[in-house]
Amino acid sequence: MPEGDTVWNTARVLHRALAGARITSSDFRVPQLATTDLTGWTVRESASRGKHLLLRLSAPDEAPWTLHSHLRMDGAWRAYAPGERWNGRPAHLIRVVLRSPGAVAVGYHLHEMALVPTAEEDRLVGHLGPDLLGPDWDAAEAVRRLADHPEQTIGEALLDQRNLAGVGNLYKCEVLFLRGVSPWTPVDAVPDLPGMVALAQRLLAANRGRWTQSSTGSLHRGQTSYVYGRRAQPCRRCGTAIRKEELGERVTYWCPVCQPERPGPPAPG
């Protein structure tokens, strides 16, 4: 399940494989780009913005363009050596193949693919909140955006990429556990919103550069999370069985003892 750090890692893999290379052939398997031919284009860089991946290119006339893709829940990019077997996903999930003299980049089950002038990237990612792993990360702005939705549950607000970009369901659950906050707490009842935002950024940054995501500090199988994916298992702090329930359109994991529900502020009289 791609989260901000996974997409950041993916962007780095593509950058190492393709940056500076000239594309020798391209094969798009999505209707909106089916006739697009990037042969002769040069890859300038690969970057991430939240859960969006931006492959920046130069056309033969040097005009800058961006190939955009969204990984959502199940998308992935893989880089292979020429002649290497493509074993990342089943072939019917391939959405694009980019070949260069030194590497082959294959995109599986990608979403929202688009090719736009780089100057128009904001049409695709301008709605996003501050990127937790971006060079322009702005914690104060992320807190402000969260606070603009006081009645929304904090569990849903953390997943809203318009507030802050990069938090997925795993980090949502882990951050809320570590802060001792119930996922159903209204945003305006969260005791320390800046502290929660800071913790989310630290967790993603700590996992940047590796594929095993851990909030506990351990990389051993079955020991990487406090609550996520641990339904009915004992809480690592208090021993209470971890619960799993739907919140909005996603499931959430939490400890009912370590994350007690707090009443919201009294209604205005």
Q: Which residues are catalytic?
A: 2-3, 51, 250
Q: Under DSSP, is residue 140 helix (H, G, I), strand (E, B) or coil?
A: helix
Q: Which of 36, 30, 31, 43 is nearest to 104 (CA)?
A: 43
Q: How many alpha carbons lie under 13 Å from residue 32 in its C-beta half-sphere?
A: 10
Q: Can you tell me the distance from the alpha carbon of 269 to that of 262, in angstroms, rounded to the nearest whole number?
A: 20
- Which two three-digit tokens encode residue 4? 């901000």
Rounded to 5 degrees, what are φ and ψ at 111?
A: -125, 160
Q: Can you tell me the distance from the alpha carbon of 203 to that of 57, in angstroms, rounded to the nearest whole number?
A: 31
Q: How many CB atoms lie within 10 A of CB 250?
A: 15
Q: Which of 146, 141, 160 is nearest to 50 (CA)?
A: 160
Q: Can you tell me the distance from the alpha carbon of 11 to that of 52, in angstroms, rounded to the nearest whole number?
A: 10
- CA 233-236-239 angle, 5° bins: 65
- Which two three-digit tokens encode residue 132? 């937790």
